[in-house]
């Protein structure tokens, strides 16, 4: 009987120990209370709590988490009511502060986000709100990170997911965008036509320049050809004259070497006179020397006849 009781006690102890063993997984932390007061924070690993005295007050995830808040109505500086829904990326850095710092931390972050968003957007006009998302996100993140630090929460990033203006504002914006696109299209078309005209004018100018250069080159070649022909013709004439003069000089030299008599000279004079009076001249003036030579020749002929 005693062995049975002892065995039961041992079994009860084993069961109690097994029930109170806790294995904390990676990226999680357990907040432990003893008799209702904070005792410690368990990190990743094997832990054993004391039955009845200790309890796990909260299991906290240390991963980065995302909170998607519903759209909030916000009034801009130019009195336009828009709906903005935000997304907050946060991470718990201190499980103890997260557990005891604030009640319902997500609701507190949502309300703080809405309040901060209204304060920031209230100083901006609608157009600036639509184009300054990065600035607005940075301002909200700074404010939230500073406010949630005592709660053991680190706000890493804040994004405005949607900005929804009223329908009439959306219609006006769409019409404005359409008009702007049409204006840009007209500008681009005009610039294209201008560029095409400039290219066409440059092409015509280039063609005219090329034609003028071609005509200039052709004229230069023709002038050079004429000059070359004239030079060759002049050189030919000069060579011909030189040849004739050389021939005459050679003939005179040969005649001088032969020592011709008076009769030969007389006959040469008569031949020259004959060439001068070849029938083309209308008046012939006979020098006295030629007359004497003619008389002499006539006498010679009569003597020969007798």
Quick one: pLDDT at residue 303?
A: 47
Quick one: pLDDT at residue 222?
A: 86
Quick one: pLDDT at residue 90?
A: 94
Give CA–CA dist 122/82, Å, rounded: 11
Give CA–CA dist 199/30, Å, rounded: 77
For helices 133-148 and 105-121, what crossing angle results, to 10°? 140
Quick one: pLDDT at residue 260?
A: 60
Quick one: pLDDT at residue 284?
A: 53
* 130: nearest Cα among 157, 169, 163: 163
**CATH architecture of the region 64-165:** 2-Layer Sandwich (3.30)
Could you state, in chain order, the average pLDDT of each consecutive group of 10 residues for the chain (306 residues)? 71 75 90 90 89 88 91 86 90 92 89 90 84 88 91 92 79 77 86 86 84 86 86 83 79 69 59 57 53 50 46
In this structure, are strands 153-164 and 81-92 parallel, antiparallel, or unpaired?
antiparallel
Quick one: pLDDT at residue 301?
A: 46
| Contacts with 143 (C-beta within 8 Å, 6 or more apart), sequence order | 112, 116
């Amino acid at each position: 009987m005693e062995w049975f009781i002892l065995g039961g006690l041992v079994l009860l102890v084993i069961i109690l120990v097994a029930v109170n063993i806790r294995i904390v997984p990676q990226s999680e932390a357990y907040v432990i209370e003893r008799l209702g007061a904070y005792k410690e924070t368990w990190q990743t690993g094997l832990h054993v709590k004391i039955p009845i005295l200790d309890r796990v007050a909260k299991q906290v995830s240390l991963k980065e988490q995302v909170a998607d808040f519903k759209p909030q109505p916000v009034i801009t500086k130019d009195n336009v009511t828009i709906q903005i829904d935000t997304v907050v990326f946060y991470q718990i850095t201190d499980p103890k502060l997260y557990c005891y710092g604030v009640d319902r931390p997500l609701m507190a972050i949502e309300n703080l986000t809405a309040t901060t968003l209204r304060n920031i957007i209230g100083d901006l006009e609608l157009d600036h709100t639509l184009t300054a998302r990065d600035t607005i996100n940075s301002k909200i993140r700074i404010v939230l990170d500073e406010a949630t630090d005592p709660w053991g929460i680190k706000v890493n990033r804040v994004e405005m997911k949607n900005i929804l203006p009223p329908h009439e504002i959306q219609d006006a914006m769409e019409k404005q965008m359409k008009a702007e696109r049409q204006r840009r299209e007209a500008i681009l078309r005009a610039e294209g036509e201008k560029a095409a005209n400039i290219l066409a004018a440059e092409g015509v100018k280039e063609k005219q320049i090329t034609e003028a250069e071609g005509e200039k080159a052709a004229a230069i070649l023709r002038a050079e050809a004429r000059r070359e022909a004239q030079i060759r013709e002049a050189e030919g004439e000069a060579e011909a004259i030189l040849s004739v003069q050389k021939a005459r000089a050679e003939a005179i030299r040969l005649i001088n070497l032969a020592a011709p008599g008076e009769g030969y000279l007389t006959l040469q004079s008569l031949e020259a006179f004959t060439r001068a009076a070849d029938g083309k001249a209308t008046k012939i003036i006979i020098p006295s020397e030629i007359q004497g030579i003619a008389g002499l020749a006539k006498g010679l002929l009569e003597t020969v006849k007798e």
